[in-house]
Structure 1
Amino acid sequence: MYKHILLPTDGSAGSDAAIQAGVSLAKALGARVTGLHVVPPFHTFTYRPDMIEDTEEQYEKESEEQARKVLLTVEKLAQECGVPCDSVVVRSDDVHDAIIATARERQCDLIAMASHGRRGVRALLLGSETQKVLTHSLVPVLVYR
């Protein structure tokens, strides 16, 4: 059925649960997985507090270290379960576009990701990356709650 599953993660508890389920599914299907972490590129003017005081070089280094730490969760779990795994860090302001593009470029046939459950005004104003992936992806999407 599915042979290559993309597992986007932001390092949250919800993402970790989706990773566990996604790796278990991959094991059951004999599929491989690709872990993905999307990092926003450095901007001089930003709403993100972690960029305000950093230099571009410092931000790049620290965000890469954080991404590798987040992706290590995917890699370790896949190794423990005997599931082939690779991982990728993508720099983009548009998380949903990066997820969809990575699935296409790496020929994934399923995206398995967490639902982050924004509610109320925040969901209306910010939207949900998961919802955007569901809306725009041509690759099937499995959402874990």
Structure 2
Amino acid sequence: MYKHILLPVDGSDLSLRAADTGIALARQIGARVHALHVVVPLPAVPFLNEIIATSDSEYANSAEEAGARYLAAVRERADAAGVPCQCSLETDPRPHHAILQVAQREGCDLIAMGSHGWRGLDRLLLGSEAQRVILESTVPVLVCR
């Protein structure tokens, strides 16, 4: 069965519920978890470079602080369940790419993540990181809604 479950979190209630599901599963089967938050950098827009340069570091610091809070929440939940938990914070403009890289690097054999279940135009405009992970993952993906 599974021994190491990756829990990507974005701070939403949905991602934390998926983390709870992954932690509960890990507890039942004696697995460990790895919580991950991916910081997406601000996009570089040529005509806004000067404005963005002043706020880019503020954004990065704020995003990293928020990510650390999200990871701490997962660690607290895992500790309460008696499940070993590691955490990492990655920066990547493509969150699904970072999720897949961490899963491979850390030897995770299951990814448990939330999906907002967007449909239609929302899905086209906003995309779905969960869908991208499902399509490109070499390990099973448990999607929670």
- Scaled by the length of structure 1, what TM-score is found? 0.90
Question: What residue number does 1:88 align with?
Answer: 88
RMSD across aligned positions (CA): 1.8
Q: C-alpha separation between the residues in 1 aligned to 2:36 and 2:115?
A: 16
- Partner residue, 1:19: 19
Cα deviations across residues 56-106 of structure 1 (Å, max 9, x unaligned)? 332222111110011111100000000000110110010111101110001
Q: Does 1:29 align with 2:29?
A: yes
Q: Which runs of 4+ in 1 moved over 4 A?
A: 51-54
Report the counterpart of residue 9 of structure 1 in structure 2. 9
C-alpha distance in 2, partners of 1:42/1:123? Answer: 21
- Distance in structure 2 (CA, Å) of the matches to 1:72 and 1:117: 26
Q: Secondary structure at the match of 2:78?
A: helix
Tell me how many residue pairs correspond in the alignment.
141
* TM-aligned CA deviation for residue 45 of structure 1: 2.5
Task: Choose between structure 1 and 2: higher helix proportion.
Answer: 2
Equivalent-residue separation in structure 2 for 1:54 and 1:111 (angstroms): 36
Residue number in structure 2 paired with 1:64 = 64
Query: 1:125 & 1:58 partners in 2: Cα distance?
Result: 27
Q: Distance in 2 between matches of 1:79 and 1:31?
A: 13
Aligned to 2:111: 111
In 2, the alpha carbon distance for the partners of 1:24 and 1:45 equals: 43
Q: Percent identity?
A: 47
> Per-residue deviation at 1:53?
8.2
Distance across 2 between alignment mates of 1:44 and 1:128: 22
Tell me the distance in 2 between the aligned counterparts of 1:44 and 1:52: 8
- State the shift of 1:125 in Å: 3.1
* 36-45 vs 10-19, greater mean Cα deviation: 36-45
Letter in 1 for 2:11: G
